[in-house]
Amino acid sequence: MNTIKTVLLMSVLTILLVFVGNILGGSGGMMIAFLFAVVMNFGTYWFSDKIVLRMYKAQQLQREDNPELFRMTEELTARAGIPMPKLYIIPNDQPNAFATGRNPQNAAVAVTNGILKLLSREELMGVIAHELSHVKNRDILVGTIAATIAGAISMLANMAQWAMIFGGRGSSDERGGNPITLIVMMIVAPLAAMMIQMAISRSREFMADEGGAKMTGNPLYLANALRKLDTTSKRIPMEANSATAHMFIVSPLRGGGFTKLFSTHPPMEERVAKLEAMVYGSIS
């Protein structure tokens, strides 16, 4: 179901790009913005592991540093049928973790000091399985494609804004556009693209939860871990970049109310409920 939802959201995002591109930038402007977004996000995708790991001062672990974590990860990768990723430790007390890398052959899983102290072996296994599910599903690639399209839409809005400032109404009149409509599009289109991009991210989180639960064979491992992570991460701050917050298993940022529309993570109660339903069935 979440796979279908992701495909539908990606389709809507693509349609939005074509529609907005023709209104704000015409076919030429749309192509320029899309190519710029492709170049920018391709670089981020290709070097994402190095960039984000350095950003959080992650240090690569060797087997002798944490033999149990290595054994656990090897067991899970064997079940998932993917290569063993590199393992990293982040010197931060907030319990959290993320996976990165452009494909399963170039993947890395990073965990914080805090998560190793907080979780039991079974709960940590649930978290690692969740991250390996992201790797197996190539979620970094999916996220990059979504970011490319959303970025192109934002660039088109910026191009149209500068064109109106310096070029007057000429460009819009040539296409027969209403200036009011164009202004509304410049504001609404980037927001709509961002909301769809965040919805795709939330859908992938549900998929990783389900995939991780199946990998361990016990959904409650991850459900119990998520409860602990949600409660503790709110008490222990983490200096996280909002551009990378979606990578973590629980958001390292605080937010509520209206900001939930732009949240990269589903509500924790929904994630836990879905995992428990895998064990106990739906509860009416």
Residues involved in catalysis = 131
**Could you report how far apart the first and last alpha carbons of the chain are, in Å?**
20
Q: Tell me what percent of the chain is helix, strand and coil, each rounded to the nearest 5.
A: 70, 5, 20
Which token pair is 49? 């592991």
Handedness of CA 231, 235, 238, 242 (dihedral sign): positive
The amino acid at residue 77 is T
CA–CA separation, 110 and 108 (whole Å): 7
Sheet strands (E) in 51-129? 59-60, 86-90, 97-100, 108-112
**Which residue from 76, 91, 71 is spatially nearest to 130, judged by alpha carbons?**
76
Question: What is residue 109's three-state secondary structure?
Answer: strand
CA–CA separation, 273 and 278 (whole Å): 9
Q: What is the CA radius of gyration of the chain?
A: 21
